[in-house]
Structure 1
């Protein structure tokens, strides 16, 4: 039997995405978020939701751009640090030893050591309550060559991304393939 739980942010999993921005003085900053996702396919758009109290919020509002750097499991500690420290009080890149790189298509930095990067131009902001959702058009994608398949597409197994379980505050890896999309469900159509 199912048990009722008080409404909460328990959907799982959520992404572990590192959002890059420049502050008003041009200092690169990065913040880990879990509230984000793809929201449109044509044009391709990606959303991130931030609280106004975050340092990154003001930077994105001012610059109108952000990047999303997707960390591999080997950088879980750095990604966690990016989410618990404030760029207002520390230089997260210097402390973590990771490298900020200026995007050549948007006014925001990305994390060099992370294998997959999305460069986004803000096209809309939506006030949702405690969070503001930034809707960004994906105007560029950068990927390490060794994560791409023969068709030039990123392979999840090579990226080795992590996800976050909000209810238990755990970072988790992603398991193996369980089936082919748009194929395994066809058995119900016969």
Structure 2
């Protein structure tokens, strides 16, 4: 029997993304966001939801660009820290030893040590409650070569992306390959 939990943000899992932007003074900054995902295939776009009160938000609005660095399991503590303090008061890169790298596609920094990066141009916003959904057209995806399958697709078992469980506020990572999409369900297609 299923138990009703009410209207809560318990979608499982949520990504753990480091959203990077230059702040209003052109200083590199990054924050953790878990409310995000792909929102369009053509043009390739994603969305991330931020509160307008966040320091990173103002930088994104000024520069019309942001990056998403996919947080790996082996940098969980550094990733968590990015969401614990404000870039207004703390240089998060200096504190963690992470390296801000200027994107060659958009006016925003990404985190060099993170294995996968998505570079986005801000193309739209939508206000929903206390958050603003930022729509970013994906201008490039970069991935460490040793984290690719067939030299062209990011491998989640090598990247080990952090995922977030909103209810328990716990981090997890991916486990194992289950089956090929658009294939394992073929046994239910009538011939």
Q: TM-score, normalised by structure 2?
A: 0.97
CA distance in 1, matches of 2:53, 2:171: 24
Structure 1 portions without partners, runs of 5+: none
| Contact 2:145–2:151 (CA under 8 A) maintained in structure 1 | no
Aligned to 1:144: 144
Q: 1:150, CA displacement in angstroms?
A: 2.1
Look up the SS of the partner of 1:84 in the other structure. coil
CA distance in 1, matches of 2:71, 2:50: 19
Q: What's the RMSD between the two structures over aligned residues?
A: 0.8
Q: Does 1:128 align with 2:128?
A: yes
Alpha-carbon displacement from aligned partner over 1:56-95 (angstroms, at most 9, x marks no partner):
1111111100000012100000110001111011000000
Q: 1:156, CA displacement in angstroms?
A: 1.1
**TM alignment of 1:1-190, pairs within 5 A:** 1-190=1-190
Q: 1:151, CA displacement in angstroms?
A: 4.0
Alpha-carbon displacement from aligned partner over 1:114-136 (angstroms, at most 9, x marks no partner):
00000000110001110000000
CA distance in 2, matches of 1:57, 1:151: 34
CA distance in 2, matches of 1:172, 1:146: 22
CA distance in 2, matches of 1:102, 1:59: 14
| Contact 2:47–2:133 (CA under 8 A) maintained in structure 1 | yes
